[in-house]
DNA sequence: CATGAATGAGACTTCATTCAT
DNA sequence: TATGAATGAAGTCTCATTCAT
């Protein structure tokens, strides 16, 4: 008789953690909340993870590496810089669309949490900024973007603008429906790139 | 003999709290750290403040109300919208220039800390976003800005872009000298407004 | 010009303490509550009293010495034992009638508070029990009361019975009007003495 | 090899708490004192009980419910009212005999602590008074007790008399040996009932 | 006499982590 | 793997008391 496929406890715990972190925040929740949400015993969390922190680290790394890969891949494409930035913005927004809880957790607990996980993962976070900066820099070199703007700064505000949008969605400050996502992406890219592009007068 | 001017203990404690919060983060520091930094006894913090939280609230409100007032005042001026946004960006960046520790604390512990003080102060934070949105909206009405962009979204990314810059300075991701501040302000306004302004083709 | 009669601050504070202790209990109130109630400054309480405890001690001793004096005086009267006990019961109940807050405080915080003031004032409390026991003992010697009952035990339950009545009034378990006081005194004396008196069969 | 019978930690902690509360008083002892006395770690107290208060509540309820059950059971018996009251007095005195520490704690910290646990448990305490009052009231209806005495008042002083005896034992005011318990019970019942019973002249 | 700012010891409670089964 | 009892460090807040003016 075939054995039932083994339940992936590790996955089960990670998924539960996302829900709990999103609902209560990392610090406000106890390890037992995660275990309860996952429907497993208290100590099992420690069987699969070294600590509560490591659960968060795992969640972040898992997702963030996808973003880094996406930026890298986009950068290699043979398309105009505006489309590259559009693809990056799209990827980030789609990440939220696809799993809002996870993105909420990553933004709230990591990328905007400068005193805790934000510090730990600074190198990885910076790699994303650098990736965007490279796109801008290359665009300047090719003459597509005006070259009197520091690419690293531009990268900051491009990313900051998008993250602020996600934050606003997360906290219900602006409507978050399918249409809003599409319009927002189009608008932020249009505006920011509109400002970055070289004027052809 | 003239009496020595009375020391403002309350101020002394608030100022110490800024330094300690900036250095260690709100959660990582103990009330005794604040007292030590202020050079006063433990209990005195509780003589002037109801709780550790209230110290933070006080710091935030004190500073944020200045920002809200500034936005309101700027909006009333009879100047082009781009200059209005430039003034707002300038005020925020100057706030950092003037007291980097305080701005670090406010950004890290409040405006980007959605699960703690960010939630408590959401209404006040939102008032700033709304103030910026109004500037954009009025600019659209007057024909200065293109009107196919949602002012509330534009407000988000304008503010998000600036806050990201501040974060980057706070964490040493980009150089933070006098020149950098000026250039950054000019660039972000130039770029974002450049994208927002109506094209006169 | 005649000086205004000096306010008796000490008295003012003691009276305020009675109200505050009655309302909140000794441990639940702070020294500042007493000062506020008395309308004086915080530190003044410490000008007149060595400590918060001493305020309570003062209140207790002031009142309890009256009870001790009353028992002694009653015992000296040339009246039947039942009337002596009636006079004692009457004095205690009248004390409550006259100043319910003070009696509430004394009972709740001292005579029934075996772990705090009850221990400190045990000697004085015991003197009251002894006084009652002496009345019983003398009555047994004169043949008025049956002599097969230990006077010290009888004293305990006579006093215990009355104190329980006061407690019940204090906490609203039984109605506390003028009529109730009179009836209760008559009944408790009638019953307890009825049981103590020698049967003349 | 047979597993050792599991230690009932909860019981262990409750028993330790009785000893510590009896020795030092509820407020004067720290949770760590309980843990030390029980020989367990600090946090384990909080594993089994929500708070220090709850430990006390548990102790009280556990014991008081036995008293309530006993009163109810006694009342149902087909015996003369004097024997009923005798049984109730006997139960209370036996409770002390059986576990003096526990009864000390219950009396000192609950039934006579009107400002703390006494208030919380007033309803349960009152149920005992009511049970005794019912015995008196029924006795009056059957003609066994004189009917010019309020049963609720009689209940107060019956209970008050017994509790005062226990207090006196607890604090060493009167000798507490086996003989004393028996004599005291007989005497208090004899006297109080003697006073309550209808005279057959 | 009077004020109230200043002091600091002390206790409860939380919760991440460990470990015996 | 899986369980959950057991551990204990750490931090906030209270409040009686002191003291300078």
Q: From the list D113, D160, D170, which residue is nearest C160 (CB)?
A: D160
| B27 sits in which H/E element | none
Give the angle subtended at the CA of B8 by the CAs of B2 and B9, to the nearest 5°.
Answer: 125
Domain residue spans of chain C: 1-49, 52-196
**Range 153-182 of A in CB contact (< 8 A) with B:** 153-154, 156-165, 167-168, 170-171, 173-174
- One-character DSSP codes across C92-157: HHHHHHH-HHHHHHIIIIIIT-TTTHHHHTHHHHHHHHHHHHHHHHHHHHTTSB-SSS-HHHHHHH
pTM for this prediction = 0.90
Asked if the Cβ of residue B9 lies within 7 A of any atom of strand E, the reply is: yes
Calculated CA dihedral for residues D64, D66, D72, D76, nearest 10 degrees: -160
Query: Is residue D183 within 8 Å of residue D121, measured between CB atoms?
Result: no
| Interface C:D, Cβ pairs < 8 A | 146
Half-sphere exposure of B126 (CA within 13 A, CB side): 13
Among B34-43, C2-11, C152-161, D78-87, name the one with the lowest average pLDDT. C2-11
Q: Which of D108, D118, D147, D156 to mutate to test the interface with C (most CBs of C within 10 A)?
A: D156
User: Over the stretch D53-68, which tens digit does the pLDDT of each residue have?
Assistant: 999 999 999 999 999 9
Look over chain A and give the mean of its residue pLDDT values, rounded to a whole number: 93
Give the angle subtended at the CA of A171 by the CAs of A165 and A176, to the nearest 5°.
Answer: 60
Cα of D167 to nearest chain C Cα, Å: 8
Q: Does C149 touch chain D (CB under 8 A)?
A: yes
The first and second tokens of residue A47, run together, are: 């069987």
Q: Does D114 touch chain C (CB under 8 A)?
A: yes
CB contact under 8 A, C114 and D170: yes
User: Over the stretch B68-111, which tens digit does the pLDDT of each residue have?
Assistant: 999 999 999 999 999 999 999 999 999 999 999 999 999 999 99
CA pair distance C43, C49, nearest whole angstrom: 10
- Tell which residue, B115, B160, B54, has the closest CA to residue A117: B115
Annotate C150-199 with three-state secondary structure.
Answer: CHHHHHHHHHHHHHHHHHHHHCCCCCCCHHHHHHHHHHHHHHHHHHHECC
Give every residue of chain C whose pLDDT is below 70, as ranges.
1-6, 199-201
pLDDT mean over B166-175: 92
| Interface A:B, Cβ pairs < 8 A | 144
Per-residue model confidence (pLDDT) at position D73: 98
DSSP B177: S
CA pair distance D192, C72, nearest whole angstrom: 25
Q: From the list C24, C153, C190, which residue is nearest D165 (CB)?
A: C153
Mutual orientation of helices A81-98 and A52-76 as an angle, nearest 10°?
150
CB contact under 8 A, D153 and C188: yes
Count of CB atoms situated within 10 Å of the CB of C45: 23
Query: Closest-CA residue in chain B for A170?
Result: B114
- Report, in ranges, which bases of strand E sit under 7 Å from a protein C-beta: 1-21
User: Over the stretch A130-176, which tens digit does the pLDDT of each residue have?
Assistant: 999 999 999 999 999 999 999 999 999 899 999 999 999 998 999 99
Query: Is residue A68 within 8 Å of residue A131, measured between CB atoms?
Result: yes
Cα of C132 to nearest chain D Cα, Å: 14
pLDDT mean over B132-147: 95
Per-residue model confidence (pLDDT) at position B199: 66
A52 has pLDDT over 90: yes
User: Over the stretch D103-131, which tens digit does the pLDDT of each residue have?
Assistant: 999 999 999 998 899 999 999 999 999 99
Q: Does D122 touch chain C (CB under 8 A)?
A: yes
Q: Does D99 touch chain C (CB under 8 A)?
A: no
CA pair distance D159, C168, nearest whole angstrom: 11
User: Over the stretch A166-192, which tens digit does the pLDDT of each residue have?
Assistant: 999 998 999 999 999 999 999 999 888
Pick the CATH number of B52-196 from 3.40.640.10, 3.40.50.300, 3.40.1640.10, 1.10.357.10: 1.10.357.10
Query: Closest-CA residue in chain C for D161?
Result: C157
CA pair distance B110, B60, nearest whole angstrom: 8
Residues of A in contact with B150 (CB under 8 A): 183-184, 187
User: Residue C25 CA to E4 C1' — how many Å?
Assistant: 24
- One-character DSSP codes across A124-135: HHHHHHHHHHHH
Per-residue model confidence (pLDDT) at position C67: 98
| D15 sits in which H/E element | helix D9-24
Helical segments of A43-120, H only: 44-48, 52-76, 81-98, 100-105, 117-120
Q: Do B52-196 and B1-49 fall under one CATH topology?
A: no
Helical segments of chain B, H only: 9-24, 31-38, 42-48, 52-76, 81-98, 100-106, 117-120, 122-141, 151-170, 178-196
SS3 B48: helix
Buried b (16+ CB within 10 A) or exposed e, D107-140: bbbbbbbbbbbbeebbebbebbbbbbbbbbbebb
CB contact under 8 A, A161 and B160: yes
- Report, in ranges, which bases of strand F sit under 7 Å from a protein C-beta: 1-21
B1 has pLDDT over 60: no
> Which residues does residue A99 pair with via DSSP β-bridges, in sequence order?
none
Please give the backbone phi and psi of residue A145, each rounded to the nearest 5 degrees, phi first.
-110, 150
pLDDT band at D1 (very low <50, low <70, confident <90, very high): very low
CA-to-CA dists, residue D50 to A38, A124, A200, D115, angstroms? 24, 42, 72, 21
Nucleotide nearest residue B46, measured CA to C1'? F13
CA pair distance B93, B100, nearest whole angstrom: 9
User: Residue A142 CA to E6 C1' — how many Å?
Assistant: 67
A117 has pLDDT over 50: yes
First to last CA, chain D: 75
The first and second tokens of residue C125, run together, are: 């409390």
Percentage of chain D with pLDDT > 70?
Answer: 96
Tokens 């007032």 belong to B69
Look over chain D and give the mean of its residue pLDDT values, rounded to a whole number: 92
Pick the CATH number of B1-49 from 1.10.10.60, 1.10.760.10, 1.20.950.20, 3.30.565.10: 1.10.10.60
CB contact under 8 A, B193 and A195: yes
D199 has pLDDT over 70: no
User: Residue C5 CA to E1 C1' — how many Å?
Assistant: 15
Asked if the Cβ of residue C40 lies within 7 A of any atom of strand E, the reply is: yes
User: Residue C49 CA to F17 C1' — how many Å?
Assistant: 12
Please give the backbone phi and psi of residue D163, each rounded to the nearest 5 degrees, phi first.
-65, -35
SS3 B28: coil
Q: Does B186 touch chain A (CB under 8 A)?
A: no
Q: Does C193 touch chain D (CB under 8 A)?
A: yes
Cα of A2 to nearest chain B Cα, Å: 46
- Tell which residue, C116, C29, C54, has the closest CA to residue D26: C116
Please indicate whether residue D6 or residue A110 has the higher confidence score (pLDDT).
A110
Query: Is residue B145 within 8 Å of residue B197, measured between CB atoms?
Result: yes
Per-residue model confidence (pLDDT) at position C6: 61
> Which residues does residue A145 pair with via DSSP β-bridges, in sequence order?
A197
CB contact under 8 A, C164 and D162: no
CB contact under 8 A, C25 and D115: yes
User: Residue C51 CA to E9 C1' — how many Å?
Assistant: 17
């Amino acid at each position: 008789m075939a054995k039932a496929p083994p339940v992936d406890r590790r996955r089960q715990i990670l998924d539960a953690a996302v829900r709990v972190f999103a609902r209560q925040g990392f610090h406000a929740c106890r390890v037992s909340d995660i275990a309860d949400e996952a429907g497993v015993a208290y100590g099992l969390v420690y069987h699969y993870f070294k600590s509560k922190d490591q659960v968060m680290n795992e969640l972040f790394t898992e997702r963030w590496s996808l973003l880094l890969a996406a930026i890298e891949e986009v950068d290699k494409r043979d398309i105009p810089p505006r489309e590259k930035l559009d693809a990056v913005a799209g990827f980030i927004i789609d990440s939220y669309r696809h799993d809002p809880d996870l993105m909420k957790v990553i933004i709230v607990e990591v990328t905007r949490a400068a005193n805790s996980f934000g510090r730990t993962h600074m190198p990885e976070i910076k790699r994303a900024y650098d990736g965007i900066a490279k796109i801008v820099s290359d665009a300047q070199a090719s003459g597509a973007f005006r070259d009197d703007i520091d690419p690293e700064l531009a990268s900051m505000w491009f990313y900051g603008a998008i993250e602020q949008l996600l934050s606003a969605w997360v906290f219900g400050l602006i409507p978050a429906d399918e249409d809003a996502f599409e319009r927002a992406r189009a608008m932020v890219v249009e505006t920011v790139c509109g400002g970055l592009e070289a004027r052809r007068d």
